[in-house]
Amino acid sequence: MYFNSKNNFYHGIMFHHFHDDKIHKRSQGSISKDEFIKMINFIGRKNILNADEFFKKFKNNSLKENQLCLTFDDAVKSQIDIALPVLEQFEIKSFFFVYTSIFQGEPDNLEIFRYFRTNYFKNIDDFYLNFYKILNKNLDNFFNDNEFKIKSIKLKSPYYSLDDIKFRLVRDNYLSLEEYENTMDSMMNEKKFVPKEFYSKLFFNKNDLITLDKLGHLIGLHSHNHPTLFANLKYQEQKDEYDKSLSIISEILNKPKKNIKFMSHPCGSYNEDTLKILEDIGIELGFKHIMSIEPEKGMKKINNSFLEIAREDHAQILKTMFK
């Protein structure tokens, strides 16, 4: 049984990566078609609302405790190839949150780097070993100084291993963006990996977005460039991110901007500026990436505002299913 005392409130389920061991190789956190089907059955099809129904009930304040929706982030191609046929099989309409630089041929490196570490190393531990070797820094003091933060992240995002959390801290807090990307570039050059050769395999194209829209799924914003630390951006930088994303989606779908009302926060990173910007551009429903309260963001309840609806990561559901 999916619902319990800790999740018996309306929320979204968050998906990213899928694998078929053919085009889309198994990777950290990815799930198969069969696992996706089992998950839907475990949750209960009757508990999963179509995206438009979830939105309408939310606006009418009529969502029940055990009702949820399915959401997909990052415009990852495996969602089209593997997840979409399952959604059509179960007649489920979902939210798809896309960042838009991919439609201009400039995808965020996050997905490129993920593909690289999945396909060019034995496993994630092998990647971390090589990364730290090339970085060649003594990080003991950094990890000791951030011990509390590491424990805090683990509590909020238990689907991450401690090594995952440490790597993300090094990437986002120890290194500058330039230092991180230079380190990854060195690794990719060493392996003769050319990112552009894999764009069509990894990301949505414009026709994918149009198809989803015609099938009745709801398309929403996920920024333009997908900054991992969105809250660190200045107000105008944040505004530019969402203004550009809104314009591009509006143009691709041939819809007025006012009809695009949904979003999810990239990497769960946002602040008061973000919420004001989103409200000003007409967003009426937004999702965060965790199932807990973050007091440092001024939250007083799980679903704190219409722009802070909780989501459970699919990895946590898998753990529950196979206990």
**pLDDT (average), residues 111-124:** 93
pLDDT per residue as tens digits for the range 156-198? 888 789 999 999 999 999 999 899 999 999 999 999 999 999 9
Residue 297 has pLDDT above 90, yes or no: no
How long is the chain? 323
Angle between the N-to-C axes of helices 147-156 and 162-169, in degrees from 0 to 180, rounded to the nearest 10: 120
User: DSSP state, 13?
Assistant: E
Average pLDDT value for the chain: 95
pLDDT per residue as tens digits for the range 257-290? 999 999 999 999 999 999 999 999 999 999 999 9
pLDDT per residue as tens digits for the range 238-254? 999 999 999 999 999 99
Q: What is the pLDDT of residue 55?
A: 98
Reduced to 3 states, what is the DSSP secondary structure of residue 1? Answer: coil
pTM of the model: 0.91
- What does the DSSP assignment read for 58-94? HHTT---TT-EEEEEETTBHHIIIIIHHHHHHHT---
Is residue 317 within 8 Å of 39, Cβ to Cβ? yes
Cα 246 to Cα 55, 134, 172, 190, 224: the distances in Å are 19, 39, 26, 38, 9
Distance CA 273, CA 234 (A): 9
Residue range 11-108+202-321 forms a domain whose CATH class is alpha beta
Portion of the chain with pLDDT greater than 70, in percent: 100
Distance CA 205, CA 199 (A): 9
Distance CA 108, CA 158 (A): 25
Confidence of residue 17 (pLDDT cuts 50, 70, 90): very high
- What does the DSSP assignment read for 237-283? HHHHHHHHHHHHHHHHHT--GGG--EEE-GGG---HHHHHHHHHTT-
**pLDDT (average), residues 311-322:** 90
Hey, where are the domains in the chain? Answer: 11-108+202-321, 121-192
pLDDT per residue as tens digits for the range 20-73? 988 999 988 899 999 999 999 999 999 999 999 999 999 999 999 999 999 999
In the structure encoding, which two tokens stand for residue 146, read together?
């951030």
| Burial environment of residue 285 by CB neighbours within 10 A (0 to 12, 13 to 18, 19 or more) | buried
Confidence of residue 323 (pLDDT cuts 50, 70, 90): low
Residue 13 has pLDDT above 90, yes or no: yes
Greater confidence (177 vs 217) lies with 217
